Structure 1
Amino acid sequence: MSEEVDAIGWNAIDTALENIYGEQQARHYGTSIPYMLGGNDPLDGISVYSAEQPVPHWHYVTYGFSDLYEKESEDETYSGYGFELTMRLAKEPGEDEPPAWCMNLLQNLARYVFKSGNVFHSGDHMDANSPIRLESDTRLTALGFVTDPVLGEIHTPNGMVEFVQVVGITADELQATQMWNTNGLLETLKTYYPLYMTDLERPSILERPEALEAITDGAKREGSSTGILFVEQLDWRGGEEGDEAGIYILTVGAKQAAIVGGLLSGRLPYNRTLTLVSSSCQIVLKPGESNAVEERDGGIDLLLSPETAQEWGFLLQPVAGKIIPPSFPSVIIEIVPTHIKDTDGNIVQTIG
């Protein structure tokens, strides 16, 4: 860094890393054109450290989500967005340089934050809809987020910064986080992959009977922490303006139909609601003594009896078609195919 710039936030991150890695010189990858000047990369840079314990790995740390120089954010408690991202990637034998794809992934996550304003917290998860390393056969197709177990959080002159670690997870592990919670799943993962290590070659931990049992027991004991689920293919129509008065049609994409069904069993029996959100509407599923539909601006509320909630959990499957639930025939569930596309917009998979 230039000595002419009072980089108090940057220096605070450096100090935290020096406390761990001592005099090791980090490999630092900066941005040639600053984002504010039209550059494509929001982060000012990413440092990577080589670690040998508990297993050989690369430790990536971002610079740019927090206030690196003078205080810019209005919140006095937090620096910038209040976090920086980290990632631990298992090192391949003989690997001398950290893989660049991880840095591209972290920059892509930064683009999402800078454009949407949404921030990452410990306990969050995200579906990448493709291998986290593009053009690879890794089974890791989603991300979990957890507080970095070594860096934790620091207090800087610009406010607090939490180091949030990005962890690659499989599709079925993602579903397990939704049925239970991300931190519970990642704590189970850490038993086999210390420090929440991302290993592109690993199988799902749900293939381990003891891990599956722990996750299943946790979900049964605590229910699901997923109160809001974004469903890209979600809509409703009906009521007085429908094909038949009093009949409502709920449309759900096949990819997330089973997830919605599973979440019903992890939310409604625990007296918790489940909110489904798309770009066009919002549907709230609520526990009730009897079934009912309540229309409101922007969406509807569906009150489901315990019998109906259980029934829908079985009926919602990733198979296209129309379903008339026996216990709630005034709501027809229409499951439509989901087309998974690559970065060029080509359909690579159809579900349902």
Structure 2
Amino acid sequence: MEEENYEASGWDAIDQAVEKIYGDQQPAHYGTMIPYTLGGNDPLDGISVYKSEQPIAHWHFVTYGFSELYEKESDNIAVSGYGFELTFRLVRDAAEEEPPAWALNLLQNMGRYVFASGNVFRSGDYLDANGPICLDVDTNLTALAFIEDSQLGTIDTPNGQVQFLQMIGITADELEAIQTWNTRGLLEACKSYMPYYITDLERASLVIRQEVQDAIANGIEQDGSSTGYLYNDQLAWYASETKPAIITIGAKQATIIKKILNGRLLKNKSLILVGQQAQITLNIGDTPAIQENEEGIDITLHHAALEELSTLLEPKEKIVNLSTFKSLEIHIKPTLIKDQDGNIIETIG
């Protein structure tokens, strides 16, 4: 019986990239017993975890499965699969013999999100976890940022290009700084306090440091906000010929919309609100206007309406009536924060 020729050229390319850093170190590898395509729970084929001592002792996780590990299947010859693999660096205690299971689960959860939604991560992206990234630990890290892994970078494989994206645990106010400015700017400002962007569940927010605050303020003034799209699952639109048009948003989103608005519109950049029921594009202009088209709703705010809206938006249930734009109302509804089991753990507004 002939031996089956089982090509894993994509997998081998990842191995070769990591070997340049860790040599012959044998990682702890966590494979998947039942493939996701056959009904298994874990979408990633595997996760390897290396011990690194520089600049401090930490675990270095590397995923296998977002890219094409075996033969080429997609039509895009330039990119392998989704075009990336995730990495994650986590502070390692001297007594730890094995990497923590929660981090492996977190990476698999990222896989479930991508495989289910088709949304890919890119360098500069961020994700609000709506709670601690590790449920069993009292930590201030409640969100994630993504940037190219400084050691692994981007590689060419037989199946196309693969970028290694490092996932970084961040605090709520660091997330807010990213949304109102940008990911790369905030991470660069924090770099000296977070070498190699190693996640430390016990650390405090770095936004409390004056030099970081100054960098954020200067960055927002110079660059504005890089958040062009803002997803809001409570977003809705209602228009009537006899009454003001109504935008419905969640109370949690009201806060961040308020903070992003000036950083986008005053820099002549649009802000696009995306929801399951509507897509609304906000722009700055000379005259307030509402226009519906195939892509969604375009709303033009003049400076007086923008100033008034920025003042009135707040994270509580209310109806915002604009004296400067009487044909538009904003209805703010409570936001329900739920855990993985669907239980309500917090109500905002």
TM bin, normalised by shorter chain, reads over 0.9
Q: Is it true that 1:203 corresponds to 2:197 in the alignment? A: no
Report the equivalent of 2:252: 255
1:16-27 paired onto structure 2 within 5 Å: 16-27=17-28
Residue 311 (structure 1) shift: 2.0
- Contact in 2 for aligned 1:281/1:298 (Cα 8 Å): no
Q: Using the alignment, how far apart are the partners of 1:300 and 1:78 within structure 2? A: 34
Report the equivalent of 2:191: 190
Q: Using the alignment, how far apart are the partners of 2:344 and 2:166 within structure 1? A: 31
SS of 1:172's equivalent? helix
Moved over 6 A (4+): none
Q: Is it true that 1:74 corresponds to 2:75 in the alignment? A: yes
Q: Using the alignment, how far apart are the partners of 1:3 and 1:137 within structure 2? A: 49
Q: Using the alignment, how far apart are the partners of 1:277 and 1:34 within structure 2? A: 33
Aligned AA (2:38): L
C-alpha distance after superposition, 1:31-61 (max 9, x if no partner): 1111122211111100000011101100000
Report the equivalent of 2:317: 320
Q: Using the alignment, how far apart are the partners of 2:344 and 2:81 within structure 1? A: 38
Residue 168 (structure 1) shift: 0.8
Q: Using the alignment, how far apart are the partners of 1:227 and 1:289 within structure 2? A: 21
Query: TM-score when scaled to structure 2?
Result: 0.96
Q: Using the alignment, how far apart are the partners of 1:254 and 1:117 within structure 2? A: 27
Moved more, 197-206 or 319-328: 319-328
SS of 2:237's equivalent? strand
Residue 300 (structure 1) shift: 2.2
- Contact in 2 for aligned 1:177/1:185 (Cα 8 Å): yes
1:22-41 paired onto structure 2 within 5 Å: 22-41=23-42
Q: Is the alpha carbon distance of 1:74 and 1:207 closer, same or farther for their aligned partners in structure 2, counting shifts above 3 Å?
A: same
Report the equivalent of 1:95: 96
C-alpha distance after superposition, 1:68-92 (max 9, x if no partner): 1121221111111111100000112
Aligned AA (2:269): R
Q: Using the alignment, how far apart are the partners of 1:16 and 1:308 within structure 2? A: 53
Aligned AA (2:91): A
Residue 277 (structure 1) shift: 0.9
Residue 333 (structure 1) aligned to one of 308, 327, 330: 330
- Contact in 1 for aligned 2:237/2:277 (Cα 8 Å): no
Q: Is it true that 1:344 corresponds to 2:341 in the alignment? A: yes
Residue 120 (structure 1) shift: 0.9
1:72-221 paired onto structure 2 within 5 Å: 72-221=73-222
Residue 225 (structure 1) shift: 1.0
Moved more, 39-48 or 323-332: 323-332
- Contact in 2 for aligned 1:125/1:145 (Cα 8 Å): yes
C-alpha RMSD of the superposition:
1.5
> Structure 2 regions of 5+ residues with no counterpart?
none
C-alpha distance after superposition, 1:118-154 (max 9, x if no partner): 1111011111111111232211111111000100011
Aligned AA (1:91): R
Q: Is it true that 1:284 corresponds to 2:285 in the alignment? A: no
Residue 332 (structure 1) shift: 1.8
Residue 292 (structure 1) shift: 1.4
> How many matched pairs?
347
Moved more, 185-194 or 199-208: 185-194
- Contact in 2 for aligned 1:291/1:305 (Cα 8 Å): yes
- Contact in 2 for aligned 1:235/1:281 (Cα 8 Å): yes
Q: Using the alignment, how far apart are the partners of 1:10 and 1:281 within structure 2? A: 40
SS of 1:107's equivalent? helix
Q: Is it true that 1:7 corresponds to 2:8 in the alignment? A: yes
Residue 4 (structure 1) shift: 4.9
Q: Using the alignment, how far apart are the partners of 2:281 and 2:184 within structure 1? A: 25
Q: Using the alignment, how far apart are the partners of 2:295 and 2:157 within structure 1? A: 42
Report the equivalent of 1:272: 269
Q: Using the alignment, how far apart are the partners of 2:294 and 2:84 within structure 1? A: 35
Report % sequence identity.
Answer: 56
Aligned AA (1:347): I
C-alpha distance after superposition, 1:321-342 (max 9, x if no partner): 1121222232222111111111
Residue 346 (structure 1) shift: 1.7
C-alpha distance after superposition, 1:140-174 (max 9, x if no partner): 11111100010001111111110001111111111
Residue 310 (structure 1) aligned to one of 307, 311, 314: 307
